[in-house]
Amino acid sequence: MSCCSSVHGFAWLVLVHACFFAAAQAQQAARTDPTEVTALNAILGTWGLRASPAWNISGEPCSGVAVDETDVDNNPNINPAIKCDCSFNASTVCHITKLGISSNNFTGELPAELGNLEKLEQMYIISSGFSGPFPSTFSKLTNLRILWASDNEFTGKIPDYFGSLPNLQELRFQGNSFQGPIPASLSNLTRLTSLRIGDILNGSSSLSFISNLTSLTVLILRNCKISDNLGTVNFSKLAELTLLDLSFNNITGHVPQSILNLNKLGFLFLGNNSLSGSLPYDKSPSLNNLYVLINIELWHMLLLCV
Ligand SMILES: *[C@@H]1O[C@H](CO)[C@@H](O)[C@H](O)[C@H]1NC(C)=O
Ligand SMILES: *[C@@H]1O[C@H](CO)[C@@H](O)[C@H](O)[C@H]1NC(C)=O
Ligand SMILES: *[C@@H]1O[C@H](CO)[C@@H](O)[C@H](O)[C@H]1NC(C)=O
Ligand SMILES: *[C@@H]1O[C@H](CO)[C@@H](O)[C@H](O)[C@H]1NC(C)=O
Ligand SMILES: *[C@@H]1O[C@H](CO)[C@@H](O)[C@H](O)[C@H]1NC(C)=O
Ligand SMILES: *[C@@H]1O[C@H](CO)[C@@H](O)[C@H](O)[C@H]1NC(C)=O
Ligand SMILES: *[C@@H]1O[C@H](CO)[C@@H](O)[C@H](O)[C@H]1NC(C)=O
Ligand SMILES: *[C@@H]1O[C@H](CO)[C@@H](O)[C@H](O)[C@H]1NC(C)=O
Ligand SMILES: *[C@@H]1O[C@H](CO)[C@@H](O)[C@H](O)[C@H]1NC(C)=O
């Protein structure tokens, strides 16, 4: 509305009208990609959902709270929720970029139509009651940056195609019923800053896939049936790590000095593995707040606050 300020009288009124007209036109001009509207309706249909009144599903989905500044992340009255980016095709097309559906009581599999939300960047499906395998159509979501999918009943293998979603920065897969092994393709995801996998049911996984994930700040691979030697990873390359949890696996070898040299690392959990040898003592001065929880055959549980 800045175009209407510091103008007087009749001219002011005319301009007000012009502004409103322009605003209305802009709003009308940008519409949700029809493929995504169809997908969204199919998804809601599958889940037998009535969308919250705040979500304009009967009309234009990318309107109201989906395009304004409203924080939909922690609002139980707006769940499921979407956010859109309406700057596509010269600001005439809106794509859904975010879908917040956590803490719901859904049942059954994720609908395949989700793969049609091709501009999706963020998806939150924690504790949502889903089961079954991840749909293959997810491989089309190449813009995906954040996927939180912990605490559901997902089964099958974590699909290999996740290694081909190059923009992934955060991936959470704890507390499901996934089978191993963890796909080696994840080694591709060099932009990952946070990877949390846990509670893999069977199939032994290797550890070497983390070697090139040099952007990681948080790495949790707890209870993942990893059978590997800690020495297969050059931890010097994972210099951004603040938290490393490899506990409850079958990891062998000894704890290398390179782990204790990571100067951003604050938490290290290596308990319940098959590590041997003694802990290297040469800790860097920056490790003031490093908490190490290790049980090696020699020591059992050891909590070190160095
Ligand atoms: C937006 O533009 C792209 C590329 O020009 C085109 O393929 C697509 O169909 C357009 N989308 C809509 C909804 O018109
Ligand atoms: C919902 O969409 C309809 C149709 O596009 C539109 O007329 C209406 O203003 C929208 N409602 C809200 C609350 O955004
Ligand atoms: C899900 O079910 C539980 C238990 O029946 C209930 O307490 C909770 O409010 C439900 N959550 C939603 C989002 O419907
Ligand atoms: C790694 O990413 C490239 C490019 O996206 C892809 O072609 C390749 O198949 C991926 N490798 C694996 C093992 O997924
Ligand atoms: C894991 O268990 C499932 C279901 O019992 C089975 O189909 C699959 O072959 C097993 N995978 C491995 C690697 O043992
Ligand atoms: C890490 O990246 C290098 C160089 O791109 C590649 O040769 C190597 O195979 C990768 N290692 C793993 C475990 O993916
Ligand atoms: C481990 O990585 C560091 C940092 O990239 C590198 O300087 C060092 O040569 C590597 N060590 C081995 C044994 O590859
Ligand atoms: C643990 O690793 C050792 C050595 O690699 C292997 O012999 C053993 O079978 C593994 N145990 C389990 C439970 O996977
Ligand atoms: C973890 O290690 C402790 C101590 O060695 C052992 O008593 C416990 O059974 C282990 N737990 C699991 C789940 O392996």
Helix H or strand E segment including 18:
helix 9-29
**Residues 175, 178, 180, 181: is their CA dihedral positive or negative?**
negative
Is the pTM here over 0.85, yes or no?
no
Which pLDDT score, from 0 to 100, does residue 164 have?
Answer: 97
Closest ligand to C-alpha of residue 56 is 2
Q: For the purposes of burial, counting CB atoms within 10 Å of the CB of 168, is it exposed (0-12), middle (13-18) or buried (19 or more)?
A: buried
pLDDT score for 277: 74
Token reading at 230: 């800690």
Residues in the chain: 306
In whole angstroms, what is the distance from residue 14 CA to residue 97 CA? 37
Q: What residues does ligand 3 touch, defined as CB less than 6 Å away?
A: 103-105
User: Quick one: tokens of 180?
Assistant: 């191993």
Query: Rounded to whole angstroms, what are the CA distances from 64 to 53, 67, 71?
Result: 10, 6, 12
Give the pLDDT confidence score for residue 75 in this predicted structure: 79
Which of 185, 186, 191, when mutated, tests ligand 4's pocket best, judged by the most ligand atoms within 8 Å of its CB?
A: 185
User: What is the spatial distance between Cα 73 and Cα 9, in angstroms, rounded to a whole number?
Assistant: 43
> Considering every ligand atom, which ligand is closest to the CA of 187?
6
122 close to ligand 9 (CB < 6 Angstrom): no
- Residue 290: what pLDDT? 57
HEC readout, 103-171: CCCCCCCCCHHHHHCCCCCEEECCCCCCEECCCHHHHHCCCCCEEECCCCEECCECCHHHHHCCCCCEE
pLDDT at residue 295, as a whole number: 52
pLDDT at 305: 39
Cα separation values, 231 from 67, 136, 211, 223, 235, Å:
49, 34, 11, 19, 9
Which residues lie below 8 Å from residue 252, measured CB to CB, with a gap of 6+? 227, 228, 229, 230, 273, 274, 275, 276
Pocket around ligand 5 at a 6 A CB cut-off:
179-180, 202-203
- Ligand 4: distance of its center to the CA of 162 in Å? 9
**pLDDT given for residue 55 in this prediction:** 56
Beta carbons of 290 and 269 less than 8 angstroms apart: no
Ligand whose nearest atom lies closest to the CA of 159: 4
Which domains, from first to last, does the chain contain? 28-127 (no CATH), 156-306 (3.80.10.10)
User: Rounded to the nearest 5 degrees, what angle is found at the Cα of 305, between the Cα atoms of 301 and 306?
Assistant: 120
Q: Is the CB of 208 under 6 A from ligand 6?
A: yes
Sites in the chain below the pLDDT cut of 50: 1-27, 296-306
Q: Give the SS3 label for residue 271.
A: coil
Contact in structure between 229 and 253 (CB atoms under 8 Å):
yes
